[in-house]
Amino acid sequence: MLGGIALTLLPAQAAPPVLAGATFVVDPGHGTRYRDGRELNVGAVGAHGAQERTVVLGVGEDVARLLRQDGARVVLTRSYARPFRTATILRLDNRARAALANRLHATAFVAIHADASPDAGRRGTSVFWLRPNSLTLARAMRRRLRSLDFGEAEFRARDLAVTSEARVPAVLVEIGFVSNAAQASQLSRPHVRERIAEAIVAALRDTFADSRDGTGGD
């Protein structure tokens, strides 16, 4: 009561999740089989048996969980529930993942891979993109991955099956080298994979958090 006037206090409205309205296609690389179960796209196998397809699936699941907490819609091309895709032609399978993002008019497409090299000392993350509408996201991804202190291997435009096919903002991220014993050991640890996922999601927030219509980017 103020001066004889009753006041009704309305509860404060919560701010919408920062990525509400956005749709992301998250593509943990490899993990594709022929219909008879033979491997089509194994991925790298590195130091101490570290498997790229297993490492990146864990990161992809963490990325999806964090994005959903931010209110985004997430489509995983592989998941713990469905860890393998079925295909017959490798390049067509790679392109089909990015084509999915196009069909969904996704806010962005993020392919997650782990690197390998005959040089066992090579280390670091890489970010690849192709089209101009992907450069803002690529730069944000590079900046956030640097905070992991894994080193940097490459950052450049690159014509890959997924970056060529994607019309939406798209990056391919290499999260480290499984052929490097130290990095393979790091990538095998769940808490490290979660830190990587947090960096990837932070880059997506940096780029798209203000895009309420889900069409962020340049």
DSSP per residue, 104-123:
TT-SEEEEEEEE--SSTT--
> What percentage of the chain exceeds 70 in pLDDT?
89
CATH value at residue 168: 3.40.630.40
pLDDT the model gives residue 214: 41
Domain-located, residue 99: yes
pLDDT digits (tens, 9 = 90+) for 78-112: 999 999 999 999 999 999 999 999 999 999 999 99
Number of domains in the chain: 1
Tell me whether residue 13 is in a domain. no
User: What residue type is assigned to position 215 of the chain?
Assistant: T
Whether residue 121 is contained in a domain is answered as yes
Asked if 87 contacts 40 with a C-beta cutoff of 8 angstroms, the reply is yes
- Residue 134: its H or E element: none
Q: Is position 217 within any domain?
A: no
For residue 65, pLDDT over 90 is answered with yes
What are the pLDDT digits (tens) for 140-164?
A: 999 999 999 999 999 999 999 999 9
pLDDT of 33 reads 93
Domain that holds residue 122: 23-208
| 81 inside domain | yes
